[in-house]
Structure 1
């Protein structure tokens, strides 16, 4: 347990989701001796949001969660399902390819080895919350809506709609794609836009004798979208069903909430798109899934401003993009790499009147990787967009080749350990 320290920075984090919580853990974990920060997290929701779909935590993501003390909690609570490999299918013809996390000896990727873990967003958040609760230097307050951010030479103050305020030396904007930190302070003109695709998801309870076509996780391509089917718990008594597909823009966030609340309409849309699948379990899984939700996938522009002198954006607040297979892991990398840059600056004696030195070191280290991820996400959008028979047939030839061609790149990234890698600062 990390003790509080009056000598550490006073840090404010906006956002009590996975990005904000792991940022708090990383800042605590990497703090120099005697300089553990005092961290206050503020969340707009009345309580942490533990609803959502299921995410695949890749080996590099699990490595960081292990370092931050979260992975063992997931194991102790039996959260998630270990994923040895992803299987890729064409719903009309069968299996196309697979992407493995088993490593050369079958134990996982890296040293020590990790495979992957499919876990609900709710369970992942619960595990991280438990790790945060064990830290005496971190407090979290829910139900706080920020209305103003006032940055001065030596501090930054956030003002809430209830009249309260909080002041710190560093403000971390970890408040998602519609970030108040970005929109009210860092870059107000950089607004989220609809990507053209939406994610429909639900969870289908299954009987012990229900036969599926995959071992752990399947990515199922069709002419009008991609359907992910995956186990997400060790009991394997339910399947996560998530469709990523091209959907016309309804024009507003409130409009999307209204459309997304109609579970029966969302289910019917999936049946319209995947109902002609030749894989026998596809239609029954869609029919069995409970409480379908539809979420639009928003994105930011590829380039943008991440910081001011005392405010830094992390995760989706800085660089939200369509899902490209490693979105959650990228957020964890953000938190760890930024914390290491800040720690290096503190070890140097905190020179200068503001935080520009560690901010610039982090951005120089991180922006190239994010730009590559943006390009990868564009490929995902085009792959799940509606296509005719010819376009779909071409896709079934391209996808296996692409997975083979990029295998070395993915393997290298899965092995990377950003907790110890050279940050050149």
Structure 2
């Protein structure tokens, strides 16, 4: 009798909510790390959300330049399990500081350090930085994705339309098939289909006026040096300022056998997308332009050698979005460059990782609230509550980063000798003045900070 009553009482309890069904559009670093964050921060006891990532390319894009993963970015990758994968594969080169040089005199002007007060890094636990190719960082994250059965990555799917109603979001693909989920997260970059076809079609990317010309140069041999290679003027990474742009030179592997070469420079706008593709593919024209801008006035012969030897040289136009804009509808959220693409400012990758973590924590709070209300028979609040909480938490930081990115653009603008001299005086002062702010951000851990949502 007592057992029957217990069974009857048990069967009358409200069922647990079904796992949230989430679609992420974009299989780049933003989409993949957001999927990991959604899984990592799902409420304890709940079934992890079912996440499907759709990527337009036939396979994840593991080509591109090299990025600097700052201490806050490494901290988040560590939380998500990707840093262990990157280190176990010996990807990237640890970076103590980004040094700043005047390319014309080869004088070191300043540096942005990640060493911390005791030389071990910034934050708790301490991290420095890692200069790594985009491809290797993506491979490290993909290795973690494969360990989570709730995450599925499907490539070669081009979205043609997005339909949203009160209960779901449905994507229609070029192949004619569809996919439906509870929410859609757009992590599909500056030319986001999620934004342009649904969230805010009028908000298009605009050309910033600058391009990134990048490639990888194998180091020249030199029998007179201890390591057998041509000497360099930097420890790991250097920003070399010239009158006609800025040239980044950096190791990106522990063997230090190759140097990443990336030039930020003003380039006249090309009207069509096909025109940009043609310009990007013309490696020799890009090489000549870089030699004219950076090598002719350089006092260090290494600069010319690196540009001459750079392989897979490519010209990439930098497009941006206007500050602000619409990030969400009732069931669709934009993350990363799809919401706030900006010119390079040294922390872009870390900002994208933070986006995914903070959004996941806000959504997890909503999921927990949903579960509790379902158990008590209450009405479930709309998921837009989590979207609004995330925006309230995040927009201030993005506005500050946007302002910083505009300062970077100014340092890249072409100038005369007087303007360049002023720049070489201002840059060290600016790095000294902003050091406290940068380090405060580098030690931040958005996995545990108060989110008040």
Q: Secondary structure at the match of 1:399?
A: helix
Q: Deviations over 1:236-276 (max 9, x none)?
A: 00000000000000112211100000000001000000121
* Cα displacement (A) at 1:35: 2.9
- 1:150 and 2:163 are equivalent in the alignment: yes
Which of 367, 371, 376 is 2:399 aligned to?
371
- For 1:337 and 1:51, the matched residues in 2 are separated by 28
Partner residue in 1 for 2:447: 419
Cα pair 2:204 2:321 within 8 Å, conserved: yes
> Which residue of structure 1 lines up, in the alignment, with residue 21 of structure 2?
10
Report the secondary structure of 1:348's partner residue.
helix
Q: Is 2:120 the partner of 1:107?
A: yes
Q: Pick the structure with greater CA Rg.
A: 2
How far off is 1:353 after superposition? 5.3
Query: Cα offset for 1:209?
Result: 2.1
Q: Which segment is superposed worse, 407-416 or 33-42?
A: 33-42
Q: State the shift of 1:347 in Å.
A: 1.1
1:322 matched to which residue of 2? Answer: 343
Q: What's the TM-score once normalised by structure 2's chain length?
A: 0.92
Is residue 53 of structure 2 the alignment partner of residue 41 of structure 1? Answer: yes
Equivalent runs, 1:17-416 vs 2, <5 Å: 17-32=28-43, 33-93=45-105, 94-206=107-219, 207=221, 208-275=228-295, 276-349=297-370, 352=380, 354-416=382-444
| TM-score computed with the length of structure 1 as normaliser | 0.98
Over aligned residues, Cα RMSD in angstroms? Answer: 1.1
CA contact (8 A) 1:154 1:353 kept: no
After superposition, the C-alpha distances for 1:261-302 in whole angstroms (9 at most, x for unaligned) are 000000100000012101231111111111210000000000
User: Any idea what SS the aligned residue of 2:324 has?
Assistant: coil
Give the SS at the match of 2:27.
coil
Q: Distance in 1 between matches of 2:216 and 2:41?
A: 38
DSSP 3-state at the match of 1:163: coil
CA distance, structure 1, for counterparts of residue 343 and residue 272 of structure 2:
18
Q: Deviations over 1:37-77 (max 9, x none)?
A: 00000000011100000000000000000000100000000
Q: Distance in 2 between matches of 1:359 and 1:129?
A: 26
Q: Distance in 1 between matches of 2:137 and 2:17?
A: 31
**How many residue pairs align between the two structures?**
421
Structure 2: state its 5+ residue gaps.
1-15, 222-227, 372-378
Check conservation: 1:154, 1:354, Cα contact below 8 A.
no
Q: How many angstroms does 1:7 deviate by? A: 2.7
State how far apart, in whole Å, the 1-side matches of 2:41 and 2:433 are: 36
